[in-house]
């Protein structure tokens, strides 16, 4: 039996790693040990519980008003105390958070091979998104196995000198989670949303929280308010718990009769809201994957993206962070059925629901317990172009680009 440590700390990590943890638990020769850093305390625990999972070790690193450096240092110190006693044969981290970076460094420092799940995403700009772009580049340098969601992500890694034999294209595990959630989501999870199924208005699911967007949050909030002025439109904002985000957004949107603000919803409730929504306007990385998978036109609040496949496929569009740009792009979709249908019918390039099993099979192969799995091949041929765009920091795709 081989021990595999799984280090997670945020809600997105819990969502995307839950199918992997379940697949690890089902493997006869792998013993997963789930380590929670608690970076997103309440949201992390709620998400794990929704999947019927719990952490084996909880580092409880969060404290009020911590800086990124302080969070990272506390995670490293916590892993320093716990990791040596586990005898782990591999350590899995996901994505690009402070937990990801600290977990990878801890594994590297202790000689435990690091497996990077959701490897190879690149925006081409070190500061966007911040600090995620820097984190994932750094993690790539200390990882022994790189599990790339798409062929474009694999190409990014190859361009950085990562050996091809250490890369497996798995698809994105968020699609596995999404398919599971579709069978389990039963309620919206907030009293203000109880009438949503009977509301005839079009629903725009809106959110913004990334650190690189903080200087523009008031402008983004003003865009949400103007979108809600459109007749027959309801804007729902599950507002991030970060005090800086709330201070910027709440004063702008408060009191509008067609805006509903809630706390962050439990994962299953959020999936139900996502399925009900007509349109997504967000800077969330998960929304850029979940929206296309559900056929929801997704407007991304950024000028660059590390998830360019959906932009190339035509189901997502970069609209920047200015009030006018966001409003114009949103109203275009709300007022033009042809433009809306074009985005809603575009292909999903991110997965087929078998990414978690490919992930576990890749880990097993790495540890000498099985064969290398067949790699994920998307149905839509956008990946080579997407890789080129992801490496081009000057690219600003404000219009969907044709597949090559």
Q: Is 353 buried (19+), middle (13-18) or exposed (0-12) by CB count in 10 A?
A: middle
Q: What is the pLDDT of residue 323?
A: 97
Output the average pLDDT for the chain.
Answer: 91
Other Cβ atoms closer than 10 A to 248: 21
Residues that are catalytic: 96, 118, 132, 209, 211, 240
Q: What is the pLDDT of residue 312?
A: 84
Considering the domain delimited by 188-344, tell me its CATH architecture. 3-Layer(aba) Sandwich (3.40)
Query: Tens digits of per-residue pLDDT, 195-213?
Result: 999 999 999 999 999 888 8
pLDDT tops 70 at residue 144: yes
Q: Is 143 buried (19+), middle (13-18) or exposed (0-12) by CB count in 10 A?
A: buried
Q: What is the pLDDT of residue 396?
A: 38
pLDDT tops 50 at residue 397: no
Query: Tens digits of per-residue pLDDT, 332-372?
Result: 999 999 999 999 987 778 999 999 999 999 999 999 999 99
- Please calculate the CA angle 15-17-18 and round it to the nearest 5 degrees: 70
**pLDDT over 90 percentage in the chain:** 76
Each domain of the chain, given as residue ranges in start order, spans: 2-181+351-390, 188-344
Q: What is the pLDDT of residue 317?
A: 94
β-pairing, 202-207 vs 233-238, is: parallel
- Ranking 126-135, 199-208, 392-401 by mean pLDDT, the lowest is 392-401
Closest of 230, 209, 229 to residue 220, by C-alpha: 209
pLDDT tops 80 at residue 391: no
Closest of 151, 155, 157 to residue 137, by C-alpha: 157
pLDDT tops 90 at residue 318: yes
Query: Tens digits of per-residue pLDDT, 103-126?
Result: 999 999 999 999 999 999 999 899
Q: What is the CA radius of gyration of the chain?
A: 20
Mean pLDDT of 257-263: 97
**pLDDT over 70 percentage in the chain:** 94
Closest of 90, 178, 171, 179 to residue 358, by C-alpha: 171
pLDDT tops 50 at residue 393: no
Q: What is the pLDDT of residue 399?
A: 38
Q: Which residue has the tokens 């074009």?
A: 342
What topology is assigned to 2-181+351-390 in CATH? Rossmann fold (3.40.50)
Query: Tens digits of per-residue pLDDT, 35-93?
Result: 999 887 778 888 999 999 999 999 988 887 888 899 999 999 999 989 999 999 999 99
- Do 2-181+351-390 and 188-344 show the same overall fold? yes
pLDDT tops 60 at residue 394: no
Q: What is the pLDDT of residue 358?
A: 98
Mean pLDDT of 127-153: 95
pLDDT tops 80 at residue 381: no
pLDDT category of residue 386 using cuts at 50, 70 and 90: low
pLDDT tops 70 at residue 28: yes
């Amino acid at each position: 039996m081989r021990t595999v440590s799984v280090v997670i700390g945020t809600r997105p990590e819990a969502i995307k790693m839950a199918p992997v943890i379940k697949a690890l638990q089902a493997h006869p020769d792998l013993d997963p040990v789930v380590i929670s850093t608690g970076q997103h305390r309440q949201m992390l625990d709620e998400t794990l519980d929704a999947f019927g999972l719990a952490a084996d070790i909880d580092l409880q690193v969060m404290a009020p008003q911590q800086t990124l450096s302080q969070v990272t240092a506390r995670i490293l110190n916590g892993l320093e105390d716990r990791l040596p006693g586990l005898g782990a044969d591999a350590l899995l981290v996901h994505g690009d958070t402070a937990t990801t970076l600290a977990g990878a460094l801890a594994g590297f420092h202790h000689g435990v091979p690091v497996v990077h799940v959701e490897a190879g995403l690149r925006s081409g700009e070190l500061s966007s998104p911040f600090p995620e772009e820097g984190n994932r580049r750094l993690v790539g340098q200390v990882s022994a196995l790189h599990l790339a969601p798409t062929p474009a992500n694999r190409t990014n890694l190859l361009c950085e000198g990562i050996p091809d034999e250490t890369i497996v294209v798995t698809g994105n595990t968020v699609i596995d989670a999404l398919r599971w959630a579709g069978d389990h989501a039963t309620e919206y999870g907030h009293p203000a949303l109880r009438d949503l199924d009977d509301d005839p208005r079009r629903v725009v699911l809106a959110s913004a929280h990334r650190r690189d967007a903080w200087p523009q949050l008031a402008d983004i909030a003003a865009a949400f308010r103007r979108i809600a002025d459109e007749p027959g439109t309801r804007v729902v904002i599950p507002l991030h718990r970060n005090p800086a985000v709330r201070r910027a957004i709440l004063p702008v949107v408060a009191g509008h009769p067609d805006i509903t603000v809630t706390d962050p919803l439990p994962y299953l409730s959020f999936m139900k809201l996502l399925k009900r929504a007509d349109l997504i306007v967000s800077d969330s990385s998960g929304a850029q994957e979940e929206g296309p998978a559900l056929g929801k036109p997704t407007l991304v609040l950024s000028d660059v993206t590390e998830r360019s496949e959906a932009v190339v496929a035509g189901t997502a569009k970069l609209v920047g962070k200015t009030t006018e740009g966001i409003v114009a792009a949103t109203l275009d979709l709300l007022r033009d059925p042809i433009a809306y249908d074009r985005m809603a019918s575009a292909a999903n390039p991110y997965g087929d629901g078998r990414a978690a099993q490919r992930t576990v099979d890749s880990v097993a192969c790495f540890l000498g317990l099985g064969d290398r799995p067949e790699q994920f091949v998307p149905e839509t041929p956008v990946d080579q172009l997407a890789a080129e765009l992801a490496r081009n920091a000057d690219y600003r795709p404000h219009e969907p680009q044709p597949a090559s």
